Amino acid sequence: MESLTRASLKVCPFVRSKTTQALRQLSETSSLTQHARACPFAGAALSAREYSMSSKPAQASSAPATSTPRVASTYSFGDADLVANKINLLDRSTNEQAFDYDGYLEDALDKKRQDKSYRFFNNINRLAEEFPRAHLTEEAEKVTVWCANDYLGMGTNAKTIAAMKETLDKYGGGAGGTRNIAGHNQHAIKLEAEIAALHKHEAALVFSSCFVANDAVLSLLGQRLKDLVIFSDELNHASMIQGIRNSRAKKEIFKHNDLADLEKNWLATPSRLQS
């Protein structure tokens, strides 16, 4: 009986929730096996156990029989949970109504469309030989791009393109992973060394975007600098607002480009926090 109880601990949530004393009482109950057979969890384990036992050849006192003995089953108590998962004996019926995720999300999207905050992405395809021109969905429909970060056109520079082709031929495309695993390579190291030298700093760190950089740096400063107070313009960029929020530092918001309001907020800050 005790072996059955121990095995049931692995597969039966009812048995797992019982105290040690209650389990001992169960193991001493003659009807435990009968109840176990009706359990969708322990019953599967018990069936597997009985099948394994019945498959073993009997020990004979006389000469071995000529018939080939049955091979013992590979089932064990450790496999019982797999057996139980395959037997759908649980009553999963419920009166609860399933949450309408699709309807909820569609309503949220409709609200954004109505208040003109729904984000659409333009199909901009910059042309290497016609900088700063680009075409839209139709190649015949061309526009001049003044909002690209590559405002100097370095992406179309002949030397840049030649270096990119040479690198692709030797190393292939993409970093192959994040920098924490296999994505840190000599190209990133050389780029950061060049940027550090340009700004006369010991080192530099390149982020995937300005948004990520602002978020990460402000979050770090707020978490590491004790009693930090961040004064933020009310029309600050979303990346800085996000970084300040993630830092959980105290923040004071001043009116847009209003130095007088900034000074007012500064003077209202306790002197111990102004140092």
| pTM tops 0.85 | no
Asked if 6 and 82 sit in the same domain, the reply is: yes
**Mean per-residue pLDDT of the chain:** 81
Per-residue DSSP letters for 18-65? S-HHHHHHHHT-TTHHHHHHTSTTHHHHHHHHHHHHHHSPP--SSSPP
Residues 6 and 78 in one domain: yes
Contact between 257 and 233 (Cβ < 8 Å): yes
**In the chain, what is the greatest distance between 2 CA atoms, to the nearest angstrom?**
107
Quick check: is 203 in a domain? no
| pLDDT value for 137 | 94
- The answer to whether residue 52 sits within a structural domain is yes
Per-residue model confidence as pLDDT tens digits over 147-165: 998 989 999 999 999 999 9
42: tokens are: 């322990």
Domains in the chain, number = 3
Polymer length of the chain: 275
Q: Are 80 and 7 members of one domain?
A: yes
Residue 167 lies in a domain: yes
Q: What is the predicted pLDDT for the residue at 248?
A: 93
pLDDT of residue 79: 53
Strand pairing partners for 144?
A: 133
CA geometry: angle 155, 159, 164, nearest 5 deg = 65
Residues 64-106 pLDDT 10s: 544 444 444 444 545 555 555 555 545 556 777 888 999 999 9
What does DSSP say about strands 125-126 and 133-135: parallel, antiparallel, or unpaired?
Answer: antiparallel
Q: Which structural domain, as residue segments, surrounds residue 6?
A: 2-57+70-86
